[in-house]
Amino acid sequence: MRVVLVGGHGKIALLLAGLLSERGDEPVALIRNPAHEAEVAATGARPVLLDVENTGPDELAAALAGADAVVFAAGAGPGSGAARKYTVDRDGSVMAATAAEAVGVRRFLQISAMGAGEPAPAGTDEVWRAYLDAKTQAEQDLRDRDLDWTVLRPGRLTDDPATGSVTIGQRVGRSDIPRADVAAVLLALLDAPETAGATLEVVAGETPIAAALAALR
């Protein structure tokens, strides 16, 4: 399976690239900084220089051509202002989905955030409010498309080791989850076409990932 990771130097994307490589798939990681090429290549992914903030849809479509799936893992990241939440987290996803449609890549996984789709809590700062709004708009754009999309909303991310067990569903309650487990869930979702059209929250839990996904059917 050839899987294009948009935002290929993100922590979750790097973990997912390693998992894909380990099982013999072909991860392609789109990155904006050439200094990250070696780190991406070390996961077994093929790095491709492409900055979603400074490229056009045709160039992105060319990078997605021939893929079996796209994982949108890009994000403006900590320290960025409100404006970049829209140019990366929203506009980047919109462009990636448009490009996927253009070249016939139907499977599209989007990493969103818990709290998207809901009003921001009172007292939320401007940047976090913009982040949730950008994710909400990106989700809605995807729902309006003829793609086999799945939206995944992780809880608060940690760098703890993977456990292999989660709680996943439409509403699961707020909690933490290791990035390594999010990557493993994304890997499992790539093999679960029946989850197309679902928006799922995921946090740490007691149920092995395969069983947790099977219980959604």
CA distance 161 to 77: 21
27 forms beta bridges with 3
Q: Is 131 in the active site? A: yes
3 forms beta bridges with 27, 69
CA distance 17 to 186: 11
Q: Give the pair of three-digit tokens for residue 17.
A: 């690239």
Edge-to-edge strands, sheet with 198-204: 46-49, 26-31, 2-6, 69-72, 107-111, 148-154, 198-204, 165-169, 207-208
Is the separation of the CB atoms in 188 and 16 below 8 Å? no
Annotated catalytic residue within 99, 131, 139, 152 = 131
Is the separation of the CB atoms in 145 and 97 below 8 Å? yes
CA–centroid distance for 216 within its chain: 20
* Residues that are catalytic: 131
